[in-house]
Amino acid sequence: MAHAHIDLDPRFTIGPVQRRLFGSFVEHLGRCVYTGIYEPGHPTADEDGFRGDVLELVKELGVSAIRYPGGNFVSGYRWEDGVGPKEERPRRVDLAWHSLETNEFGLDEFARWADKAGSEVMYAVNLGTRGVQEALDVLEYSNIKEGTTLSDQRVANGAPEPHNIRMWCLGNEMDGPWQLGHVSADDYGKIAAKTASAMRQMDPTLELVACGSSKPIMPTFAEWERVVLHHTYQHVDYISAHAYYEELDGDLDSFLASGANMDEFIESLVATIDHVKAALKSDKTINISFDEWNVWYNKRWHTEDKPRNATDWHYAPRLLEDQYSVADAVVFGSLLISLLKHADRVTSASLAQLVNVIAPIMTEPGGAAWRQTIFYPFAEASRLATGEVLRLNLSSDTYETEKYGTVNRVDAIATHDAETGAAAVFLVNRGADESATVTIDLGALVDGKSVTATTLTDDDVYASNSLEAPERVVPRANEELTVEDGRLTITLPAVSWTTLTIS
């Protein structure tokens, strides 16, 4: 049995729980939009063709801002194709995912859908095949109330109120050679700065995100950010970060330690940002928009629906439909802990993605929708994390990994809401070989409160949910819990995610 100990004291805080940390991402990719969130004719579809079963699950997941419409897709996208009468919208090839784009779903539909889901829209402009003018056009269409050609078009298209989108991404992964129109850091920095300053002339209160490197492992990481931030520092509020993890070569121990890599990545990105800040003698702090993160098995790109090298263009092909296991959910939970641990600088994040494509929610066309294993850590943290993120004093037994060296078996984060007195602790045991006993000194925090815990685990770490067995893996009450004189003791099974609620 491994051991860990945590001191939890509400006087030590990292920063407020930012709602935008619980954001997600909807891209025109595979079946995320078509037969995911949008499927006219589905038995649960509403008058707009939005799947009611999916909307309910999105609300249960508790998603704040949702990034749209891509991703790689945005770098070849003409936003105006997706507005106006549906029967007149052009059909296009989407070069990012080699799919057929019918454009029957676009900006106005997404804004309407997000409103029904209770989420905020975060919009990415195309800086791959387009530039400043098109960014200004979509901003005018979306945010100006009325009285200009483009805003009047929106009104005529059935959206009388402006979409009032606050957060805008200046392109997507522009460092990636796979990206349409990808450029050098210097060229991207210049176009991003120009676009940002033009957009701010229309609305100085917009929150703008410059593209960071597409992956921490990109050889350009840090230098790309340094160059881009030198150009854009005064014009933007965020630099983006993207990271995906997967189990490779059967190395489960390293995979389970992915959160340690995420911690390092965030810390080195913060250091890079702050060096530029110092070099520019700026008073302004740039934060991180971690606008793509998840577990992603990169190899599941090509399916019988869309074979490699297809020259025909499929509508809504089954792409990137990863089925997540218990181990994946534990890694996912660790990544969430890592984001919360850095809530002072990671103030927005988007789980990539939301439905069907590397997603917590899966659907069958014409059929059911269900929750993947990764749904649960996100939904629990989104629901229970309120108030301030606490700085914990955590000590844990460790284990050795090939990729990331020595890592703590147990990792955790906690939040405390001074107004309600409620607190939550999120924990992972990433050791694959043994349970861990965790003691938590809570002091007066538990006085007169009820403490409950749920744990997501399984004897088979590769167990997952599916259409046939949608509830194979669910969190269950953890009864291995005692509280005595302000000290809580709980047992975490090997490879598990646990949520403790103190209320």
Local structure of residue 467 (DSSP, 8 states): S
Residues 18, 214, 350, 401: which binds ligand AHR (CB under 6 A)? 214
Q: Confirm or reject binding of residue 70 to ligand AHR (CB under 6 A).
A: yes
Minimum CB separation of residue 75 from ligand AHR in Å reads 9
| Chain centre distance of CA 193 | 25
Tell the smallest beta-carbon distance from residue 212 to ligand AHR (Å).
12
Closer CB to ligand AHR, 375 or 399, in the complex: 375
Whether 289 contacts 349, CB under 8 Å: yes
Q: How far is CA 418 from CA 15, 19, 298, 386, in A?
A: 13, 17, 42, 9
Give the strand pairing for 23-25 and 13-16.
unpaired
Peptide bond into 69 cis (omega under 30): yes
Least gap, CB of 258 to ligand AHR (angstroms): 16
- Judged by CB under 6 A, does residue 99 bind ligand AHR? no
| Closest CB to ligand AHR among residues 172, 457 | 172
Which stretch, 66-74, 81-89, 373-381, 386-394, contacts ligand AHR (CB under 6 A)? 66-74
Q: Which position among 101, 134, 140, 173 is part of the footprint of ligand AHR (CB under 6 A)?
A: 173
Q: Which position among 352, 362, 442, 492 is part of the footprint of ligand AHR (CB under 6 A)?
A: 352
Q: Is residue 328 part of the contact set for ligand AHR (CB under 6 A)?
A: no
Q: How many positions of this chain bind ligand AHR (CB under 6 A)? A: 10
Q: How far apart are CA 205 and CA 501, in angstroms?
A: 37
The reply to whether 101 belongs to the active site is no
Per the structure block, which two tokens stand in for 172?
A: 């997507």
The catalytic residue among 109, 292, 380, 388 is: 292
Q: Does 72 interact with ligand AHR (rule: CB under 6 A)?
A: yes
Compute the least distance from the CB of residue 176 to ligand AHR, in Å.
7
Q: Phi and psi (nearest 5°) for 410?
A: -105, 135
Binding segment (CB under 6 A) for ligand AHR, from list 67-75, 205-213, 265-273, 373-381 = 67-75
Is the Cβ of residue 352 or residue 438 nearer to ligand AHR in the bound state? 352
Give the other-Cβ count within 10 Å of 403's Cβ: 14
Query: Residue from 109, 175, 207, 292 that binds ligand AHR (CB under 6 A)?
Result: 292
Residues 411-430 that bind ligand AHR (CB under 6 A): none
> What is the C-alpha separation between 378 and 351, in angstroms, rounded?
9
**261 is a site residue for ligand AHR (CB under 6 A):** no
Q: Which residues contact 155 (CB under 8 A, 6 or more apart)?
A: 146
Q: Tell me the closest approach of the beta carbon of residue 313 to ligand AHR, in angstroms.
A: 18
Nearer to ligand AHR, 335 or 407 (CB): 335
- 172 lies in the binding site for ligand AHR (CB under 6 A): yes
Q: Is the separation of the CB atoms in 109 and 48 below 8 Å?
A: yes
- Region near ligand AHR per CB under 6 A, out of 70-78, 272-280, 338-346, 375-383: 70-78
- Based on DSSP, count helices (H) and strands (E) in the chain, helices before strands: 10, 27
Q: Is 71 in the site for ligand AHR (CB under 6 A)?
A: yes
Integer distance in angstroms from the first to the last C-alpha of the chain?
29
Buried b (16+ CB within 10 A) or exposed e, 167-196: bbbbbbbbbbeebbbbbebeebbbbbbbbb
Give the Cα separation of 374 and 333 in Å (integer): 8
Binds ligand AHR by CB under 6 A, chosen from 27, 175, 388, 411:
27
380 included as an active-site residue: no
Helices 258-279 and 326-341: angle between axes, nearest 10 degrees: 30
Q: Which residues bind ligand AHR (CB under 6 A)?
A: 27, 70-72, 172-173, 214, 292, 352-353
Catalytic residue numbers?
Answer: 173, 292
